[in-house]
Amino acid sequence: MTFTGKTKNLGVIGYPIAHSFSPAMHNAALSAAGLDYAYIAMPAAQEELENAVKGIKALNFRGINVTIPHKQAIMEYLDEINEDAKIIGAVNTVVNDNGRLTGYNTDVIGFIDALKNAGFEPAGKNAVMLGAGGAARAVVWGLIKENIKTLSIGVRNVAKVQPLVEYFKDYISIQLFDWKDPAFNTALKEADLLINTTPLGMTPNIEAMPPVAWDCVSSDTFVYDIIYTPAETLFLKTAKEKGCKILNGMGMLAGQGAEAFRLWTGVNPDLKIMEDELGKLVL
């Protein structure tokens, strides 16, 4: 790409940030679309977040992605927050319109679009979610928006996750279980969709996975792990051996990036190019 004095700036802030796949993914898509933008990674420590946001305005960045540990903290420095981001309580994308910063959460669209692109329609189905990790609220809200029939959550620490259930109970009836409770197996038997939101199985701890009574999981259950490194976790390998259709988190990662791209540029990126670029980086 050739950069000019008219090049518009984009980036991602977090701390640490050197591991981010976003610059490679977005710059490949920007180049393919012929857009005069540049996307960079910017480390910003927690105590520097307010100054970093001021810098985004001062340097007229068109927008940024936001990652750990700033997804909640950045909200107080924004001028407006999209409904999805308000409900989820986290922002992962910011758009700068002439100094007015609006926060979005594109994880919802990324999660649901990847699921639908894989051929699964959530409406009217029974879903089981394992864990309540960082993306759990986006997953739950996405399923609610898509009119999931029932949602059961299996976790290690029920008391810790109870506030999440209380938060969403006005939208949908959620059952919460200790994932080792035999009663949880009933939910597994009825699941059309089984989702892992825990980090169990992520590189480098690839021999780990959530405790699942696999004999209770039907071969017709669609199994979705939002982890993307490795591309096939032990959780997904086990599900595949049962004959289940499986999906990893690569599509969600590319999908949330694609929605951010559209918000910044007004252009729909080539999703395959974004996925292919991520595929080069994922071992």
How many helices (H) does the chain have, and how many strands (E)?
A: 10, 12
The two structure tokens encoding residue 157: 């620490």
Task: Give the C-alpha separation, 43 to 52, whole Å.
Answer: 9
Task: Give the C-alpha separation, 186 to 27, whole Å.
Answer: 46
Catalytic residue among 8, 54, 57, 71: 71
Q: Is 71 a catalytic residue?
A: yes
Q: Yes or no: say if 139 and 113 are a contact pair by the CB < 8 Å rule.
A: no
Q: Yes or no: say if 66 and 44 are a contact pair by the CB < 8 Å rule.
A: no
SS (H, E, C) 35-69: CCEEEEEEECCHHHHHHHHHHHHHCCCCEEEECCC
- Among 53, 80, 47, 84, smallest CA distance to 66 is for 53
- Among 267, 225, 223, smallest CA distance to 250 is for 225
Burial class (CB in 10 A: 0-12, 13-18, 19+), 183: exposed
Catalytic residues: 71
